[in-house]
A = this chain, B = another copy of it.
Amino acid sequence: MACSMGSENASKNQILSRIATSNGHGENSEYFDGWKAYNRDPYHPTNNPSGVIQMGLAENQLCFDLIKDWMVKNQQASICTHEGVHKFMEIANFQDYHGLPEFRQAVAKFMEKARGERVRFDPDRIVMSGGATGANETIMFCLADPGDAFLIPSPYYPAFYRDLGWRTGVKLIPVHCHSKNNFNITKKALESAYEDAKNNNIKVKGLIVTNPSNPLGTVLDKDTLRTLVTFTNDKRIHLVCDEIYAATVFGPPRFTSVAEVVKEMPLIDTDLVHVVYSLSKDMGMPGFRIGIIYSFNDRVVTAARRMSSFGLVSSQTQYMLAALLSDEAFVGRFLAKSRERLSSRYIHAGLKKNWNRRYHHFTSQLAQVGIRCLNSNAGLYVWMDLRRLLEEPTLEGELRLWRVIINEVKLNVSPGSSFHCSEPGWFRVCFANMDDSTLEVALQRIRSFVIRGKMDHRRTSPTPTLPTTTTTMTIKKKRGQMELRLSLTRYEEGLMRSPRGTLISPHSPIPQSPLVKART
């Protein structure tokens, strides 16, 4: 049949919905453009060594060896093995939107362990949904009407625009945070955003925060959490805490869940407090689409569960994870190792451990060329400060620099503006979705870029002092834009050839890049 692929015109517009024809999906932002650039020219150590390295993807690839070991030793945990296939019919047929009881129990237990067992989660309040993407949309459908608004501290996760607002019609009102106080959320900023909305006749139904923060990689302290709870309770609006990075906290201060805080505030109305969780980041399983809504409000639990029919977790996956997460010894070991590897890097024989701390290694290497990152202790990324490299401290300046980084330095990092950051010059850089050798290539590209940039800035031309690189770069002004040409030669080629063999994974960085991932 003849199909007019790609044809778009006004009359066709009218036959679709306003939602379908709107830009609420958010894919026209720089955040997704970066992914597309990576997709067109993905780095591979041997097949495409000058390709774009994907540093826009908050994926956790560091602990799969532990899960694989467990799977091999627990074949009965799957309905697709000799040992577990007798359960196939029962599980394939299982579609109760409450979920498998053992899955809910195991998830509640895992949530407790990921929060240091300082708080209990009731399995009967665990509501499934299709990833955190689905969980966040569902909680909005439960709490707000089209046109209502949620406050959200900026910088915030770019795809919230889609997740929270596209189909629900809910508006997001940024609460601007600033570098001068490390992007802390202040009561003053909250009040100001709330009052502004009110003055514009916008009904604010709640506040949503990510804790640990995406993109900052920081955790909210107890005092701040108390402020948020009190602020929202006073206003009779909701507080939604997206805690999907809870178990990625790899250094002090420790993570505090809002559930822990409300436990210590007996006078507050917990009907206004809700948690979103997921196994995509903490377990590194975004493909399994496990989103969780945990509400202290019974009516929200009921409504969200009814809505979960639109995005239940596959019962095959529920069944397998119920077994995995019920193994307390495994979970304890996994969480400890995961934290260790996020700060230290994936262990390879023959390499000194101290040299290999992933977060510390990455940030200290950046520091050596004068690049500072926000002090952080969580997440799968750093919040990199390139303000001093901007030609001008504006959005345009940031995007110009970003285009150079994407197109010339060949790193897909995400510009702060896509996170709605009010200060130009910040970039989110992911570091857990690749192997060590790819990370080294990325670091080398950044070092070369900065050193050359400095050379240009100082209008001097000393020979680069890094002994391992012969990278050359030319910078010229053209039609008002800075252009950087980067020729990568021996240093990187050497790495790509992998003299150490084991350093390069055949699947590096990931075998097939998604054009647009469901949640990053």
Query: Which A residues are within 8 Å of any B CB, using their own CB?
Result: 1-8, 12, 15-21, 25, 27, 59, 61, 64, 67-68, 71-72, 75, 77-82, 85-86, 88-98, 120, 122, 130-131, 133-134, 137, 141-146, 148, 162-163, 166-167, 205, 236, 238, 262-263, 266, 270-272, 280, 284-289, 296-300, 303, 306-307, 309-317, 320, 507, 510-519
Q: How far is the CA of A286 from the CA of B312 in the complex (A)?
A: 10
Residues of B within 8 A of A94 (CB): 286-287, 512, 514
Residues of B within 8 A of A120 (CB): 1
Residue in contact with A316 in the complex, picked from B317, B515, B517, CB distance below 8 Å: B317
Could you write out 28 A-B pairs with CB less than 8 Å apart?
A: A1-B263, A2-B266, A4-B298, A8-B299, A15-B238, A16-B299, A16-B303, A17-B142, A19-B303, A21-B299, A25-B303, A27-B306, A67-B92, A68-B89, A75-B82, A77-B80, A80-B320, A81-B81, A92-B284, A92-B287, A95-B289, A96-B517, A141-B167, A167-B310, A288-B314, A289-B314, A314-B317, A316-B316
Question: Is A20 a contact of B299 with CB atoms below 8 Å?
Answer: yes
Question: Is A507 a contact of B15 with CB atoms below 8 Å?
Answer: no
Question: Is A90 a contact of B507 with CB atoms below 8 Å?
Answer: yes
Name the CB-closest residue of B to A307: B167
Residues of B within 8 A of A131 (CB): 95, 309, 312
Q: How far is the CA of A7 from the CA of B90 in the complex (A)?
A: 35
Residues of B within 8 A of A510 (CB): 90, 93
Residue in contact with A309 in the complex, picked from B82, B85, B133, B511, CB distance below 8 Å: B133
Which of A12, A314, A510 lies at the interface centre, i.e. has the most chain B CB atoms within 10 A of its CB? A314
Residues of B within 8 A of A272 (CB): 15
Q: How far is the CA of A25 from the CA of B309 in the complex (A)?
A: 10
Residues of B within 8 A of A518 (CB): 95, 97, 309, 312
Q: How far is the CA of A513 from the CA of B78 in the complex (A)?
A: 21
User: How far does the Cβ of A326 sit from chain B's closest Cβ, in whole Å?
Assistant: 15
Residues of B within 8 A of A309 (CB): 130-131, 133-134, 162-163, 516, 518-519
Question: Is A144 a contact of B311 with CB atoms below 8 Å?
Answer: no
Name the CB-closest residue of B to A273: B1
Question: Is B81 a contact of A67 with CB atoms below 8 Å?
Answer: no
Residues of B within 8 A of A130 (CB): 130, 134, 309-312
A514 and B95 in contact, given A16-B143, A20-B142, A311-B310 (Cβ under 8 angstroms): yes
Q: How far is the CA of A27 from the CA of B303 in the complex (A)?
A: 11
Residues of B within 8 A of A2 (CB): 266
User: How far does the Cβ of A205 sit from chain B's closest Cβ, in whole Å?
Assistant: 8
Q: How far is the CA of A145 from the CA of B2 in the complex (A)?
A: 28
Residue in contact with A20 in the complex, picked from B25, B64, B67, B143, CB distance below 8 Å: B143
Question: Is B19 a contact of A288 with CB atoms below 8 Å?
Answer: no
User: How far does the Cβ of A49 sit from chain B's closest Cβ, in whole Å?
Assistant: 21
User: How far does the Cβ of A318 sit from chain B's closest Cβ, in whole Å?
Assistant: 8
Residues of B within 8 A of A515 (CB): 96, 98
A313 and B314 in contact, given A17-B141, A81-B75, A93-B287 (Cβ under 8 angstroms): yes
Name the CB-closest residue of B to A306: B25
Name the CB-closest residue of B to A167: B141
Name the CB-closest residue of B to A131: B312
Question: Is B314 a contact of A287 with CB atoms below 8 Å?
Answer: yes
Q: How far is the CA of A510 from the CA of B96 in the complex (A)?
A: 12
Q: How far is the CA of A148 from the CA of B513 in the complex (A)?
A: 38
Complex A-B, nearest 7 residue pairs according to Cβ-Cβ distance, in ascending order: A287-B315, A96-B514, A78-B80, A311-B311, A314-B314, A20-B303, A64-B89
Q: How far is the CA of A71 from the CA of B79 in the complex (A)?
A: 9
User: How far does the Cβ of A95 sit from chain B's closest Cβ, in whole Å?
Assistant: 4
Q: How far is the CA of A90 from the CA of B285 in the complex (A)?
A: 10
Which of A21, A86, A88, A163 lies at the interface centre, i.e. has the most chain B CB atoms within 10 A of its CB? A88
A3 and B89 in contact, given A72-B82, A303-B20, A316-B316 (Cβ under 8 angstroms): no
A314 and B311 in contact, given A92-B287, A142-B17, A238-B15 (Cβ under 8 angstroms): no
Residues of B within 8 A of A315 (CB): 287-289
Question: Is B80 a contact of A134 with CB atoms below 8 Å?
Answer: no
Residues of B within 8 A of A90 (CB): 507, 510-511
